[in-house]
Amino acid sequence: MAVHRQQRATLGASSSRRPNSQPRMFIRRNPLEVVTHDDYFIQKRDASGRLGLSSLQKMTAAIRMFTYGVTADLMDEYVRIGESTARLSMKKFVKAIVSIFGGEYLRSPTSNDIARLLEVGQRRGFPRMLGSIDCMHWKWKNCPSAWKGMYSGHVNEPTIILEAVASYDLWIWHAFFGLPGSHNDINVLDRSSVFAALAEGRGPPCNYTINGHEYTMGYYLADGIYPSWATLVKTILAPHGKKKKHFATCQEFARKDVERAFGVLQSRFAIVRGPARYFQPEVLKDIMYACIILHNMIVEDERHLYLGADQFNYEANDDTPSEPISRDNIPEFMEFIAQHHRIRDRVTHSQLQADLMEHLWNMHGRA
């Protein structure tokens, strides 16, 4: 009996750790919005007049499945909820999260957001850097047998790919999820919308000068598999000389932002660290986006704990997501093609890389 008490005490202590306790704050703060959005979470009476499961029970079951990655049949002991009800609560909950909070916590950066990101990039030695881009694979345990060949990649197991752009404070600004694991980062980039606004002429102005050369587009830090585009800055694979070695060190250090974001996302939500158990890709997509939204909520809530928190005071601004563009504002087809070629310009990529190398060396490499 004493052993069981000790185990329960240990479990209670581990469940109150900060990464897993943060999503529970969502239940206490925002339950009404979820209940208002979907009447499934409203507590109802059955035919005999007894009250059924409360909204907090259903949301608690979904949150515990998020944070601990446990199966639905384990919810009966803690929340007193059946397996099928817990599974349905998860599906309803993630849909509500994406629908209610996606516009705020899964948005593209606004003009004020970009201004702050560029300022942080300037301080870190990469003027006009918008963040880091990379892909993460989520293993799909219950992938249908007919799809396993399409979804199996280099790990020989079915996976689904998430492409994300993250900033220094681990906020995920862009998320594109759903492509089969047989794709690589280049295939995903060709299908994602990360540069869609820029190609359509809707990107915010980003004019700057480095080492005497003028540029008109921001850029992301990427690893070696990505193409040599004007909007991507890669490292040097085999650097020779102090300048190139210093640039490679700085680039690889700053590019870890997105990998840190992936690591924190998986540590906070074990459901995306372990294998996916649902059969429908639409459900997995809602789960991934809901985890990213909750992750960004936590980043916003804990931003005051970061070093240099004044750089990331997003909540102090009334920025709203930009409204969809009307057809009258879409540039002509030839202008779109020209902008598309400017994004993929290899010459500009090489020039930008060389200018950043000189800038970083003049900044603190000489010491």
Identify the band that residue 320 occupies on the pLDDT scale cut at 50, 70 and 90.
very low
Of 118, 101, 124, 119, the C-alpha closest to 33 is 101
What per-residue confidence (pLDDT) applies to 29? 54
When pLDDT is averaged across residues 175-194 and rounded to a whole number, the result is: 92
Region of residue 322 (left: phi > 0; alpha: psi -120 to 50; beta: else) = beta
Task: Please name which of 167, 174, 162 lies closest in space to residue 132, comparing C-alpha atoms.
Answer: 167
Highest mean pLDDT among 88-102, 117-131, 309-323: 88-102
Q: Is 119's pLDDT higher than 80?
A: yes
Residue 35 CB coordination number (10 Å): 19
pLDDT at position 366: 59
| Range 318-327, long-range pairs (CB < 8 A, 24+ positions) | 319/110, 319/111, 319/112, 319/113, 320/110, 321/103, 321/104, 321/107, 321/108, 321/110, 322/108, 322/110, 322/202, 325/200, 325/202
Q: Are strands 219-221 and 129-139 parallel, antiparallel or unpaired?
A: parallel
> At 137, is the pLDDT very low, low, confident or very high (cuts 50, 70, 90)?
very high
Q: 68-98 burial, b if ≥16 CB within 10 A, otherwise e?
A: bbbebeebeeebebbeebbbbbbbbbbbbbb
Q: Please indicate, yes or no, whether residues 66 and 143 belong to a single structural domain of this protein.
A: no
DSSP assignment letter at 364? I
Buried b (16+ CB within 10 A) or exposed e, 122-157: eebbbbbbbbbbbbbbbbbeebeeeeeeebbbeeeb
Per the CB < 8 A criterion, the answer to whether 176 and 188 are in contact is yes
Of 57, 73, 104, the last residue of a domain is: 104
The fraction of the chain above a pLDDT of 90, given in percent, is 36
Same domain assignment for residues 179 and 52: no
**What is the band of 183 on the pLDDT scale with cuts at 50, 70, 90?**
very high
| Packed helices 18-29 and 55-68: angle between N→C axes, nearest 10 degrees | 160
Determine the average pLDDT of the residues in 300-311: 64
Instruction: Give 60's contacts (C-beta < 8 A, 6+ positions apart).
Output: 24, 27, 79
* Whole-number Å distance between alpha carbons of 216 and 195: 14
- Looking at the fold, whether 35 and 142 belong to one and the same domain comes out as no
Asked if residue 303 has pLDDT above 80, the reply is no
Contact (Cβ atoms closer than 8 angstroms) between residue 123 and residue 105: no
Residues 37 and 81 in one domain: yes
- Please give the average per-residue pLDDT across 269-284, as a whole number: 91
C-beta of residue 100 within 8 angstroms of C-beta of residue 33: yes
User: Is residue 180 pLDDT above 90, yes or no?
Assistant: yes
CA 216 vs. chain centroid, Å, equals 26
Q: Please check whether residues 316 and 352 belong to one and the same domain.
A: yes
Nearest one of 259, 284, 262, 266 to 151, comparing CA atoms: 284
Rounded distance between C-alpha atoms, residue 115 and residue 166, angstroms = 15
Q: Are residues 15 and 82 in the same domain?
A: yes
| pLDDT, average across residues 133-147 | 93
Position with higher pLDDT, 344 vs 324: 344
């999503």: which residue's tokens? 23
In this prediction, residue 306 carries a pLDDT of 60
Q: What are phi and psi of 200, to 5 degrees?
A: -90, 5
pLDDT at 202 > cutoff 80? no
272: region left, alpha or beta (phi > 0 left; psi from -120 to 50 alpha): alpha
pLDDT of residue 365: 57
Q: Based on the fold, state whether residues 116 and 36 are members of the same structural domain.
A: no
> Alpha-carbon distance 126 to 311, whole Å?
16
pTM of the shown model: 0.82
Report d(CA 176, CA 174) in Å as an integer: 7
Predicted confidence at residue 8, as pLDDT, reads 38
Residue 56 shares a structural domain with residue 195: no
Sign of CA dihedral 110, 115, 121, 125: positive
pLDDT score at 322: 42
Who has greater pLDDT, 212 or 220? Answer: 220
Polymer length of the chain: 367
Same domain, 98 and 132: no
Structural domain for 50, as ranges: 2-104
Q: Report the pLDDT value the prediction gives residue 341, as an integer from 0 to 100.
A: 87
List, in sequence order, every residue forming a beta bridge with 180; answer none if it has no partner.
160
DSSP bridge partners of 175: 164
pLDDT grade for 162, boundaries at 50, 70 and 90: very high
Residue-wise pLDDT for 326-350, tens only, equals 445 455 778 878 888 888 989 999 9
The overall average pLDDT reported for the chain is 81
Q: In this predicted structure, what is the pLDDT of residue 240? A: 87
Boundary (domain end) residue, out of 104, 127, 152: 104
List the one residue out of 316, 311, 269 whose CA is nearest residue 290. Answer: 269
Residues 44 and 180 reside in one and the same domain = no
pLDDT of residue 17: 40
**Could you give the number of structural domains in the chain?**
2
Highest mean pLDDT: which range of 15-24, 70-79, 143-152: 143-152
If you average pLDDT over residues 69-97, what whole number do you get?
Answer: 87
Q: Which of 87, 104, 121 is the last residue of a domain?
A: 104
- Residues 284 and 156 both lie in one domain: yes
pLDDT in tens, 5-64: 443 333 333 333 444 445 545 555 566 788 888 888 888 888 888 888 888 888 888 888
Same domain? For 83 and 152 the reply is no
